[in-house]
Structure 1
Amino acid sequence: MLFFLVTILSLQAFVAHGQVENVFSYLQHNGNFTTLVKLLKESGLAGTLATSATPLTIFAPTDAAFAKLPQSVLDQLSTDPQALADTLKFHVTNGIIISPMIQDGTEFTSLSGKNLTAHRYANQKYVIQGVNIESGDKIVLNGVIHTIDSVLMPSDVSISEYLGTHETNFADLYAALVLEGFENALEFGTYTLFAPRDDAFAQILANLPTIAADDTYFKKVLMYHVVPGVWFSAGLTDGMSLPTLAGTNLTISVQGSGVYVKTAQVIEADVPLSNGCLHVIDDVLAPPK
């Protein structure tokens, strides 16, 4: 309640002191959003952010966030007006969203019609679609701006579907899930998967027939990589212990900029999916027998 009061008073102060910065003019004058401003103008969404009579909230990617995108993606957005408009609208919601409203699992409807899912962790870090919110709650005349460090993308596929369509890296893992009849379980529910790539499976290839021959243990190996709930890297802290579907816990360690799950290193983090997220790891995890 206090924050809502502060918000109202801040908006009144803008008007009283002649500060009429709107969402778009703030982005335009800030200097960290030149790519976003350019694309907003190209899409026609700039006018909406400048003149909307109802409050809007934007999760605004910085220039550094856009620089992470492959050039081919930027080229596609520049040549496909509908894709550009949908992508940018996915970053904007009606109404005022301030940080106390961002809780674990909270969903907001974007202007594109697709939902944005937020997560907040015990360390008080919070993410939207798995993307870190670097700074938030910048209140302007007609809304709120949160600065984010990556471009938001909708998550339309489940964990199982993602593995099945990325056979270049996960053919062995997906085949193992199918073999054990476990792939359907990853269509539903909400999970975090620590996913070994095929080159990780290759490292244990000599022992794989022996492991697979013990069907109960092999299934336990697969379930040992799956944690209930959604744990993006923002919520992973040194020494934390996460329960797995195998019934035993995984210990997380953070060493410098590296994140480890037991002895396996996370080599690609934070793939957002429709029913959770995926982290790519460089080794197959072995649960205690």
Structure 2
Amino acid sequence: MRSYSWRGLVAATLGLCSVGVHAQGTITDLGSLLAGQKNLTTFYSLIQKYPDILLQLPSYSGVTILAPNNDAFNKIPYTQLNSAFANNDQDTITNVLEYHILQGTKVAAQLVPGTPVFLPTLLTDSKWSNVTGGQRVENVEQSGNVVVFVSGQGSRSTLVQADLMFTGGVVQIIDSLLIPPTAIENTTQAFNLTSFEGSLYASNQLPTFSVPNVTIFAPNNEAFQALGPALTTMTAEELATVMDYHLISGSVIYSTALTNGTKLATLSGENITVSHSGNNVYINSAQLLTTDILIANGVLHVISNILNPQGPGAQPNPAIASQGQVFASASDVANLPFTSAIPCTSSCPVTSTTASSSTATTAATKSSSSAAAFTTSSSKGVGAALARETGGFNKAAGLMVALGGAVMML
């Protein structure tokens, strides 16, 4: 497809040029296409309201616009990011729009059912995306010809109208706004991986896990409870070595690349081994539970057990449902280990001494500054419940509330 400049794209969007409809009415300019879709009036109005933002986007040869329909805006709750939009924060708005634009023309017919693809977007700002080549969105065709896009914190948007061609690419209409992936500490809370998050703080490894282009295998809370003192009695240095065995640094590896027999070099220096048995996938002897959770700096997969760098040859027993522990002195505990190491970021207790208050403030500031551009309104239970839903979007402020809400949760 020929190159189509963003200035030309903006002009077409706003109806400032007259490209016209090709013979047989098959392809038109973007402005005419959006104006003719009654279910895209809110999205079209948003683009018209902020034309200068689109002019800032880079030129690209062919684009795919994932356009949220009117219903997508009507179900978006209020969040603390509303203030950014109410104050016309063009940086925030630009980055959200960039995440809805894919590099290249992607049509639904290209999808192989059941095989996810991870498509680069125009979201490349390092404050929002710490992966090479543009932040990704997952696209997969599921049973029943249902096509979904999976974005940050596991949010799902369904394709409701496909392959609307225009002179600069294609528009795909979706039923929910995409959420740019968040920092690891926000994502772990959204997926209830709080012991894993706490272990990163306890071992001082959060900065290590926050560098660009990583693959993380995060044990679930039950895995930490099953080990108990086998981990909690470790020094910070010993715990850091264990955590490093769950990190592939410098490479973003999605589930499609976790083929049987693959060996991956971890930050600890030891390899982990991928094995398949029937429909189950294992990392060493830990079962892979949830795959392809997009984070700001790569991808995270959830596993059932904690990996031991001193036992890299551990193999699963597919005949049993729950794999044995690979640490000596493992003992079940009722509490969630390491969660007390997570800095308080909201509703924090007030201490009686200045020194203690200063320390708590510093910890909270570090937590906030290490997060991605999208942050949560609470340190606990992100995405667990919706706030209130916004109503109509007749006013400009309503439009900004809508997009602001989309940043965090659907």
What does residue 170 of structure 2 align with? 145
Amino acid at match of 1:180: S
Q: Please, which of 31, 40, 48 is the counterpart of residue 43 of structure 2?
A: 40
* C-alpha spacing 1:90/1:194, structure 2 compared with 1 (3 Å): same
Question: Secondary structure of the residue that 1:169 maps to in structure 2?
Answer: coil
**What CA distance in whole angstroms lies between the structure 2 residues aligned with 1:179 and 1:58?**
43
Cα shift readout 1:64-107 (whole Å, capped 9, x = no counterpart):
xx99x9x9964559xx7x59x775563136xx7247xxxx9966
Give 1:148-227 correspondences, 5 Å limit.
Answer: 152-157=178-183, 159=184, 161-162=185-186, 166=189, 169-209=192-232, 212=234, 215-216=237-238, 218-227=239-248
* C-alpha spacing 1:239/1:88, structure 2 compared with 1 (3 Å): same
Task: Report the CA distance between 1:276 and its aligned residue.
Answer: 1.7
Task: Report the CA distance between 1:155 and its aligned residue.
Answer: 3.0
TM-score with structure 2 length normalisation? Answer: 0.44
Q: Return 5+ residue gaps in structure 1 as ranges.
A: 6-13, 120-126
* C-alpha spacing 1:139/1:171, structure 2 compared with 1 (3 Å): closer
Question: Secondary structure of the residue that 2:215 maps to in structure 1?
Answer: strand
Task: Report the CA distance between 1:223 and its aligned residue.
Answer: 0.9
What does residue 294 of structure 2 align with? 272
Task: Report the CA distance between 1:262 and its aligned residue.
Answer: 2.4
Amino acid at match of 2:264: L
Identity between Structure 1 and Structure 2 (%): 23
* C-alpha spacing 1:38/1:270, structure 2 compared with 1 (3 Å): farther
How many residues get paired? 246
Amino acid at match of 1:40: F
**What CA distance in whole angstroms lies between the structure 2 residues aligned with 1:233 and 1:153?**
21
* C-alpha spacing 1:128/1:274, structure 2 compared with 1 (3 Å): closer
Task: Report the CA distance between 1:184 and its aligned residue.
Answer: 2.2
User: Greater strand percent: which structure?
Assistant: 1
What does residue 58 of structure 1 align with? 64
Task: Report the CA distance between 1:227 and its aligned residue.
Answer: 0.8
C-alpha RMSD over aligned residues: 5.1
Cα shift readout 1:124-175 (whole Å, capped 9, x = no counterpart):
xxx962412659x968332223769985322352x3x337x72993443333
**What CA distance in whole angstroms lies between the structure 2 residues aligned with 1:106 and 1:89?**
11
Tell me which of the two structures has the higher relative contact order, counting C-alpha pairs closer than 8 angstroms and 6 or more residues apart. 2
**What CA distance in whole angstroms lies between the structure 2 residues aligned with 1:139 and 1:28?**
13
**What CA distance in whole angstroms lies between the structure 2 residues aligned with 1:148 and 1:260?**
36
**What CA distance in whole angstroms lies between the structure 2 residues aligned with 1:253 and 1:130?**
26
1:287 paired with 2:301, answer no
TM-score with structure 1 length normalisation? Answer: 0.59
What does residue 265 of structure 2 align with? 243
Structure with larger Rg: 2
Q: Please, which of 77, 97, 102 is the counterpart of residue 104 of structure 2?
A: 97
Question: Secondary structure of the residue that 2:192 maps to in structure 1?
Answer: helix
* C-alpha spacing 1:131/1:148, structure 2 compared with 1 (3 Å): farther
- Asked if 2 retains the 8 angstrom alpha-carbon contact of 1:105 and 1:117, the reply is no
